Structure 1
Amino acid sequence: MKTRTIRALPCAATLVAAGLLLTACGSSGGSGSGEQAGSTSFEGRGPITYVAGKDTTGVVPKVIDRWNKLHPKEKVTFVQLPTDADSQRQQMIQNAETKSDAYTVLSLDVVWTSEFAAHQWIDRLPEQRFPLGRMLKPVVETAKYRGALYAAPASSDGGLLYYRSDLLKKAGVSGPPATWSQMKADCAKVEKLPEAKGMSCYAGQFQKYEGLTVNFAEAVDSAGGVVTDADGRPDVDTPAARKGLDFLAGAVKDGTIPKEAVTYQEEDGRRAFQSGKLVFLRNWPYMYALAGKSKVAGRFAVAPLPGLNGPGSSSLGGHNLALSSFARNKATALDFMKFFSSEDSAGTFLKEASLAPPYTRLYDEPSLVEQYPYLPVLKQSVLHAVPRPRVVNYGDVTSAVQQEAYAALTGAKSSAQALKDLQSALQKSTGQ
């Protein structure tokens, strides 16, 4: 299954959304007019904060400095949270629950938009202030909740298969693998090379955190299964889903995935690949620029993620800019969001940090494709990516996925038992 639809949630004084009782909901429909969206008035100018995970690219401060030089009376302070997504989400929620104005503009994982909007932790935005028509449609959809805009797409993300093109060529492999079995066969050939002594085959993000939810969902989707069906109901206890989880668990057991990879987040895998420990690695496009400055520069390439019977599906990633409902100086914040999410800024992040832009033109510009040959692969990854469940109580859903997937990867449970337990947990957390 390549796409999922999210059912519109009914507005009422009290509603049940994915098993969570809410006492209020935002207004639905269009974008509003003027400088108001819904009941929000974007007033006040002065200093604000931009809150995001730890910057591993070095580019974010440059873009913020550019704003600060142009707006000396409305300076932005960059508040860096931990690297892992779960900790970022938790700190943002804690700030919202205390109604603190310490956080102004939030960099949200695309899958958090619905949760933050439903709880009224972020403001509905005026659509006319952002060039949504120039962006990839799947990216724009991640910024909406119940048909209204609650965030500005700043970057997208699609999973890519990084591989050692030099070693595959020397081993007589003509191109990157399209299936998991082909990847294993390619590794067997590469590992016979003297240069590959001590290398492992494949890794992704398998520590018990949001990255594991992403990798698990990709494995399930790439085997023809789903985590939730088209109506948002959990449907993970299936033969297809088992094939996906069996691939991951079996690969850890037989050494295709090194045992230490169950501790890997994005940066751990990147460092392992760049130091010559891996033939293949699943990671995001941000890594391309960094690997291009490492010891494997000129010796790697990227391809679509492999799957069971052909190319697989990525989970849709990326970050959206949202405005805290409790922030001050919202007029400044709205202008900064437009600046930070502009096509010009997206081009800077692409050129200096290989981040996936939300703008269609940047994928199709011939000069950029020549300079960044991974762009066509990345565009297809984003366009065919499968969203993670966009539910109000996403924290409960991802926690259950991480718990059961990790149990299967570490051998604490069989894939069959893990999926059976996961189905039960998801039904409980979503109320379906």
Structure 2
Amino acid sequence: MRCSALLAAAGLLLSACDSSGDGGSGQAGSTSFQGRGPITYAAGKDATGVTPKVIARWNELHPKEKVTYIQLPTDADSQRQQMIQNAETKSNAYTVLSLDVVWTSEFAAHQWIDRLPENQFPLQKMLKPVVQTARYRGGLYAAPASSDGGLLYYRTDLMDKAGITAPPTTWSEMTNDCAQVKKKVPAAKGMSCYAGQLQKYEGLTVNFAEAVNSAGGIVTDANGKPDVDTPAARKGLDFLAGAVKNGTIPKEALTYQEEDGRQAFQAGKVMFLRNWPYMYSLAQKSPVAGKFAVSPLPGLDGPGSSSLGGHNLALSSFAKNKATALDFMKFFSSEDSATTFLKDASLAPAYADLYNTPSLVGKYPYLPVLKQSILHAVPRPRVVAYGDVTSAIQQEAYAVLTGTKSSAQALKDLQSDLQKATAQ
């Protein structure tokens, strides 16, 4: 029998023990966490380039237990599809999975991932909403690796020239600010006002939910019961559709995912952009460096609500070398690694103290805004049939944005679709 060693570089005591040197059972539902050796980490492609560096640090310390980074597509829907295909064939190709926070319930309910030992992760140091995303029926089925809250990126240089001293807190203020900037700043006349992620993929579900929540509506309640056919939800969807129709949101935004929006903002094509915090460090290396800031998302009558984003680490039920996998999950989700991802990729950490550290706040002034975004964020539907739910949302929301269906009819149809999906 041999026990895992002390990771001095990360400050982590890795205490999992292994009674054998083989690959482990790889059986679904296994909680023995046995087996040591090479493993894989399946996650979406990292535009920041930090993930390979963190994995390389692990591999230097564990030459006999190396991690291979399997880069999945950048869009969340394709990532989820490939992970499900892997699980349905009971393949051990993926060991540790980087799950969007809304997939935990689905993967746990289908027994595609193992329940984790809570006492081996510092959950008490993490933001409570973040920890909740890793739970299913009272058990811990994932380790919070990063959180996410939507932010409004805006061009401070253009607003200053127009005499606007504060970012908008409502949708109407944002459109008015945009009009004032275009009127007073010649360089802004060709710019569009606002963009988000409106392509028909998971980003549209996020943007739709944020619009609905920011108008006082809900998609589902805390128990997963749909309640989206309401006047409040209609106001949120009508804001997006009306903005596309009148040009406040450029029609190109109907093809935008996160990276498309980031590039448009950095190229000076849009004045306001909804995106995640990962964009901050990249934009600081672009032509708009020093010319932008972030604020909470605007809403109908005041500050809006973000959808709660982020990624958790889960252990495939069919994987081998689970002792190594558990140790790697501790390493990758540690406060030390979270600090690295914050500094080098501006990813939102799960650890509460990092948002209040003066040296970090001084260097990353968006942290207080981001913390509030996360604490007040509204989770997307926590349902087992999440794939059916998000597909229905994307279908109906996109129909309204492209003008092929009214918001009233779309929300009526969506309510019916969600009731069917959640009744399964």
Smaller-chain TM-score range?
A: over 0.9
| 1:281-327 superposed Cα distances (whole Å, 9 cap, x missing partner) | 00000000000000000000000000000000000000000000000
- Correspondence list, 1:216-365, <5 A: 216-365=208-357
Q: How many residues align?
A: 400
Q: Aligned partners of 1:70 and 1:99: how far apart in 2?
A: 30
1:43 touches 1:331 (CA, 8 Å); kept in 2?
A: yes
The letter of the residue matching 2:333 is S
Structure 1, unmatched stretches of 5+, are: 1-32
How far residue 226 of structure 1 moved from its aligned partner, in angstroms, is 0.3
The letter of the residue matching 1:82 is P
Q: Aligned partners of 1:377 and 1:105: how far apart in 2?
A: 31
SS of structure 2 residue aligned to 1:220: helix
SS of structure 2 residue aligned to 1:41: coil
Q: Aligned partners of 2:324 and 2:162: how far apart in 1?
A: 56
Q: Aligned partners of 1:141 and 1:226: how far apart in 2?
A: 19
Q: Aligned partners of 1:281 and 1:215: how far apart in 2?
A: 12
The answer to whether 1:202 aligns with 2:194 is yes
Q: Aligned partners of 2:232 and 2:350: how far apart in 1?
A: 32
How far residue 363 of structure 1 moved from its aligned partner, in angstroms, is 0.3
| 1:226-256 superposed Cα distances (whole Å, 9 cap, x missing partner) | 0012332111000000000000000000000
The letter of the residue matching 2:149 is G
What's the RMSD between the two structures over aligned residues?
1.4
Partner of 2:377: 385
The letter of the residue matching 2:152 is L
Q: Which runs of 4+ in 1 moved over 4 A?
A: 33-36
| 1:116-160 superposed Cα distances (whole Å, 9 cap, x missing partner) | 000000000000110000000000000000010000000000000
* Percent identical: 83
| 1:85-117 superposed Cα distances (whole Å, 9 cap, x missing partner) | 000000000000000000000000000000000
Q: Aligned partners of 1:92 and 1:426: how far apart in 2?
A: 23
State the TM-score, normalized to the length of structure 2.
0.93
- Correspondence list, 1:43-58, <5 A: 43-58=34-49
Partner of 2:178: 187
SS of structure 1 residue aligned to 2:236: helix
The letter of the residue matching 2:409 is Q
| 1:201-245 superposed Cα distances (whole Å, 9 cap, x missing partner) | 000000000000000000000000000123321110000000000
Partner of 1:59: 50
Q: Aligned partners of 1:35 and 1:140: how far apart in 2?
A: 25
The answer to whether 1:99 aligns with 2:90 is yes
How far residue 191 of structure 1 moved from its aligned partner, in angstroms, is 1.2
The letter of the residue matching 1:279 is M
SS of structure 2 residue aligned to 1:167: helix
Q: Aligned partners of 2:304 and 2:402: how far apart in 1?
A: 23
Partner of 1:82: 73
How far residue 39 of structure 1 moved from its aligned partner, in angstroms, is 5.2
Partner of 2:104: 113
Q: Aligned partners of 1:290 and 1:281: how far apart in 2?
A: 14
How far residue 197 of structure 1 moved from its aligned partner, in angstroms, is 2.7
Q: Aligned partners of 1:173 and 1:373: how far apart in 2?
A: 20
| 1:40-80 superposed Cα distances (whole Å, 9 cap, x missing partner) | 10000000000000110100000000000000000000000
Partner of 2:148: 157
Q: Aligned partners of 2:17 and 2:149: how far apart in 1?
A: 33
Partner of 1:396: 388
1:166 to 157, 162, 172: 157
